[in-house]
């Protein structure tokens, strides 16, 4: 029996390989053999209390193409990873909650510029932050995409061993022509 995470990952690979809205170039799609993931890590599926900021300050996040995107600073939450406390800020825009972050494995096992999550609101007001769903921004695969760069406050000194890893395989080097 497949877990819902396994099914989600399988459908994501299908989307990347075949959908017209995939971030991959046609040549990459031909050679694509799936994204690289950490094994499911239940300890990094968190239901967190977010301490909202008293005033909704806004932040301008630089993007990979030199543009800026504006987000409201929603709040902070703390959590423990391998016995070490970490703290991240959650942002919000018209699309919902947004959690860009860079962990201690960035540039080696995970993408150097960070990964993203979209926390979900739970009925009791807490947020579900499931790092198993952490994903690479589309600019990893194709520099035609403009991706927000996680701000300094969301660079943490602990490893988040969940979600997508750095993409690997010959398909990453496939030319678009």
Task: Quick: pLDDT tens for 70-127.
Answer: 999 999 999 999 999 999 999 999 999 999 999 999 999 999 999 999 999 999 999 9
Report DSSP state, residue 54: S
> What's residue 2's pLDDT?
54
pTM for the complete prediction? 0.91
172: left (phi > 0), else alpha (psi -120 to 50), else beta? Answer: alpha
Dist CA 44 CA 156 (whole Å): 15
SS3 state of residue 88: strand
Task: Quick: pLDDT tens for 125-163.
Answer: 999 999 999 999 999 998 888 899 999 999 999 999 999
Task: Quick: pLDDT tens for 33-72.
Answer: 999 999 999 999 999 999 999 887 999 999 999 999 999 9
């Amino acid at each position: 029996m497949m877990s819902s995470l396994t099914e989600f990952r399988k459908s994501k690979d299908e989307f990347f390989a075949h959908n017209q809205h995939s971030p991959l170039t046609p040549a990459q799609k031909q050679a694509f053999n799936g994204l690289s993931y950490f094994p499911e890590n239940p300890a990094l599926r968190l239901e967190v209390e977010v301490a909202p900021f008293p005033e909704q300050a806004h932040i301008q996040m630089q993007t990979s193409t030199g543009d800026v995107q504006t987000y409201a600073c929603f709040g902070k939450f703390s959590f423990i990873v391998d016995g070490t406390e970490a703290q991240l800020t959650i942002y919000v825009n018209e699309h919902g909650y947004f959690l860009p972050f860079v962990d201690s494995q960035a540039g080696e096992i995970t993408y150097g510029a960070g990964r993203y999550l979209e926390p979900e609101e739970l009925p009791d007001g807490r947020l579900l932050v499931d790092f198993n769903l952490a994903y690479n921004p589309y600019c990893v695969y194709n520099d035609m995409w403009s991706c927000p760069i996680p701000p300094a406050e969301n660079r943490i000194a602990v490893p988040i061993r969940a979600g997508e890893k750095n993409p690997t395989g010959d398909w990453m080097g496939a030319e678009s022509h």
